[in-house]
Amino acid sequence: MENKQQEHTYESSNVMPSLGERISYGVADFGYASAYMWVSSFMTIFFTDYVGVPAASVSALLLVVRIFDAINDPIIGSIADRTKSKYGRYRPWVAVGGTVMCLMIALMFAVQPTWSMGVKIAWMWIVYIVVTVAATCYAMPFNALGGVITSNDEGRVKLSNTRMVCSSLGSNFTNLIAATLILLLSGTNRTSNTAQGYFGAAVCSVVISLPFILWSAVKSKERVQPPPQQMEKKSKISLGLQMKCLLGNKYALGCMFGQFVAGFYTYGRYTIMAYYFTYYEGDFNLYSITGIIGLFTGIAGSGLLGPWLYKVIQHKGRAVGTAFGLSGILSIPMFWLSAKGVLFWVFYAVSTALGTAAFGLRYGCDGDNADYAEYKYGIRVDGFLSAFISMMLKAGGAVGPAVLLVWLDSLGYVANQAQNASVLNALNMGISFIPAVLLLLVALNFLIFYDMDSKKHAEIVKELECRRGTESK
């Protein structure tokens, strides 16, 4: 009976997920992105400008903790791969990690400007460490979950793009409401963004976000199972074999490099934009426009443009490279345009739509990378591989904001003051030329090195199904 159940499971893994199932999976990233946007976009300016922590201290925090978090990714991914429960390998992690992360993000903004500097810095370090570890416990298993819902190539593209639509909606939902909500909750002094306003807005955000994460953990299905011998209770996966699955996997390595550069761009740009609108344009409320535009570009990019590119090209690597490259090129004209004009936002919208499409297609590669590793080495380590890829995204995300903050500091940045010409020029480059160079580098990586097309992947999946069918009998 047990063998028949295993065989049935393997036969049913190559299916097209329904729209409802894709949405049930993707909504977790609406909750995650909506909550975590408070960390990626608002944490630095909150601590430097409203709590009074020196920019150098915040820069050190970002660099040290994010590098630690990146190193922690493979550990969590490996443990998740080994998890055996009636709820699956990855879904319990999504539920618990997401819950703790949301609670700690709210506490991050509870720090008071009146506290002593030592207490403020200690609070910042302790809470941020817990936030990042909890986020890892959510994100690594969630990344792997997308690859085990189905082994169908097109199905994975649709899952990842649905996820990115939800992620974009979540992050831009926060961008849309943040500035207004912060001002509204700033007490009697609503003319400035007070620490009290940040805390109240963050609490509102995580209360909205958490139910979406829990819904996905409950409703998602894990169809793609490891080989039968790996499912045995006493089975062990050696670190050496895991590393072979990584280092002998050119597709995973290509994704790692691409994610590092993309992380530098993504987190660096998010950080710079808050400063750009505050000091270069002189109007922080312009930040809300990114949320309004993002609500539409997220749907257009991942929901329409990404699937269309894949359908036309039938090659994930080339589709990812094309989207990233065009996004970078269209970032360049923003250097000469003002955010107070329409044309700036036209280029921003199209560039963002292409970038969102690229990320959606890129996440669709994770399951394929695990298939290739199983094809070569006979074990399935979705969590381990996706964790290393995510580790590089976080490493880039640690280096990007830290480098940019040090750069601004070296140019003479002073919080809550008019900035000098060098700082203003750096802020302008940070939303135009620097993103363009980074995105073009990512594009070349995928166009040249990720050569697995749909036909090759279908052959790998067919071979794996044959092996599982033979092994389970």
Whose tokens are 């207490």? That residue is: 119
Average pLDDT over residues 102-122: 90
pLDDT band at 428 (very low <50, low <70, confident <90, very high): very high
Res 7 pLDDT > 70:
no
* CB neighbourhood size of 87 (10 A): 14
Tokens coding 217? 């953990």
What string of DSSP letters covers 254-286?
A: HHHHHHHHHHHHHHHHHHHHHHIIIIISS-GGG
Domains and CATH numbers, the chain: 14-468 (1.20.1250.20)
Q: Please state the rounded mean pLDDT for residues 59-79.
A: 82
DSSP H helical ranges for 379-453: 382-410, 421-430, 433-449
3-state helix, strand, coil in the chain (%, to 5): 80, 0, 20
CB atoms within 10 A of CB 444: 14
Q: What is the pLDDT of residue 3?
A: 44
Q: Name which of 5-14, 25-34, 315-324, 441-450 the model is least confident about.
A: 5-14
DSSP line for 284-320: GGGHHHHHHHHHHHHIIIIIIIHHHHHHHH-BHHHHH
| Residue closest to 395 by CA, chosen among 41, 55, 63 | 63
Looking at the predicted structure, is the pLDDT value of residue 92 above 90? yes
Q: Which residues contact 114 (CB under 8 A, 6 or more apart)?
A: none
Share of the chain above pLDDT 70, in %: 93
Q: Is the pLDDT of residue 190 over 70?
A: no
Cβ neighbours, 10 Å, residue 243: 14
